[in-house]
A = this chain, B = another copy of it.
Amino acid sequence: TPKTKIALLPGDGIGPEVTEQAIKVMDAVAERFDQHFEYCHADVGAIAIDRHGSPLPEETLEACLNADAVFFGAIGHPKYDNDPSAKVRPEQGLLQLRKSLGLYANIRPVTTYEKLLHLSPLREDRIKGTDMVIFRELTGGIYFGEKNTAEDGQSAYDTCSYQVDEIDRITRLAFEQAMLRRRKVTLVDKANVLETSRLWRRAVQAIAPEYPEVELDFMFVDNAAMQLIQYPSQFDVILTSNMFGDILSDEASVLAGSMGLLPSASVGVHTSMFEPIHGSFPQAAGQDIANPMAAILSAAMLVESLGMTEAAKSIRTTVQYVLEKGIGTPELKPNIVYGCSKIGDLIAHLV
């Protein structure tokens, strides 16, 4: 069998240790399903600034472009945090990576586990049954539009711009996903104010007839920010632009009460990237207490993207089984506390 190349970008803080567990699990399913993964390690984030003077060194980008898929841990370090005026910032590496790999669709499932409902900040009756996927456009909008500060420092602007083809490709992905789920897409925008939102509405409405079985809803972003808290279970697939997606996907991520369980995929033109949604959590680094499940579930999305549907299913079922057994890392306050590495071993053995 031909080898599948996976670029590994562990990054900072707990990134490396959760990545290690994801590798254990990917190796386990590779063996079980008779596949071969070849890994290529590369630096990104603060560690890349320290070692190479850039958050996204040339070699890292090349490793990604040569890979069939990219696994990303987490980036960010206190010494670069909250300092928007710093010359080189880890975020720049991330934005550059997205742009260079053409990662146009960030996909974030938000799932709840019966056993963990009590961790949610929402009352159980509100959060119960929540199972949604957010499709956030990732290489356009106000993130990448023209921006500038006037020379006298008295004014500044950012431009949000979109083209129909940028909207079309993520829209198709979202509808395809909806077909495999509850067949409902909610486009979130601010069409009562923004031209770009009206462009999104028209573009999405033009594609919708290709998926006659999917129900298409529209919701203003301010309303969506409310509905996510009031009735989160109403959502199936949420489709939205870069900036709104940044806000809403983070908002949605805390509903489940455990950031340590949420994976993500960023589908790209050149390759796709998979990463846990949690940050680098430097305070926890090296203590073997980080929850590797988000990384492991990201690995499930990765192998699924390579066509290994059964392997993906097996990883998800195993995570569910382990949680149901009352096993977990400390932050889940489980009956049986395991460390990061032990959870990785356990899941790798069970898949």
On A, residues with C-beta under 8 Å from B are 82, 84-85, 89, 91, 95, 121-123, 126, 142-143, 145, 147-149, 153-165, 190-199, 201-202, 218, 221-223, 225-226, 228-230, 243-244, 246-251, 253-255
A277 CB to nearest B CB, Å: 11
Q: Chain B residues near A143: list those with CB within 8 A.
A: 193
Contact, CB under 8 Å: A194 / B121: no
| Neighbour of A154 across the interface among B142, B145, B164, CB < 8 A | B164
Task: List, sorted by A's number, 29 A–B pairs whose CB atoms are closer than 8 Å.
Answer: A82-B218, A95-B193, A121-B230, A122-B122, A142-B160, A143-B193, A147-B196, A148-B195, A149-B195, A149-B198, A153-B164, A153-B199, A154-B165, A155-B163, A155-B199, A156-B195, A157-B162, A158-B159, A158-B194, A159-B159, A160-B160, A221-B246, A222-B250, A225-B248, A225-B251, A226-B251, A226-B254, A229-B251, A251-B251
A278 to chain B, nearest CB (A): 11
A83, B317: Cα distance in complex, Å: 43
Write out the residue numbers on chain B whose beta carbons fall within 8 Å of the beta carbon of A195.
147-149, 156-158
Q: A84-B192, A159-B159, A222-B246 are in contact. List 9 more A-B contacts (CB 8 A).
A: A84-B197, A121-B123, A121-B126, A149-B199, A157-B161, A158-B196, A190-B246, A222-B247, A222-B250
With A121-B230, A153-B202, A223-B250 as given contacts, are A194 and B159 in contact (CB-CB < 8 Å)? no
CA distance A126 to B165 in the complex (A): 43
Nearest opposing residue in chain B for A219, CB measure: B82
Chain B's closest residue to A232 (CB) is: B121
Look across to chain B and name the residue whose beta carbon is closest to the beta carbon of A127. Answer: B121
A160's partner among B82, B122, B126, B157 (CB-CB below 8 A) is: B157
Residues of B within 8 A of A190 (CB): 243, 246
Q: Which of B91, B159, B160, B198 contacts A85 (CB 8 A)?
A: B198
Enumerate chain B residues within 8 angstroms of A160, measured Cβ to Cβ. 142, 157-160
Of all A-B residue pairs in the complex, the 10 with the closest CB atoms, nearest first, are A157-B161, A84-B191, A225-B251, A156-B199, A222-B250, A156-B195, A147-B195, A155-B163, A226-B254, A158-B160
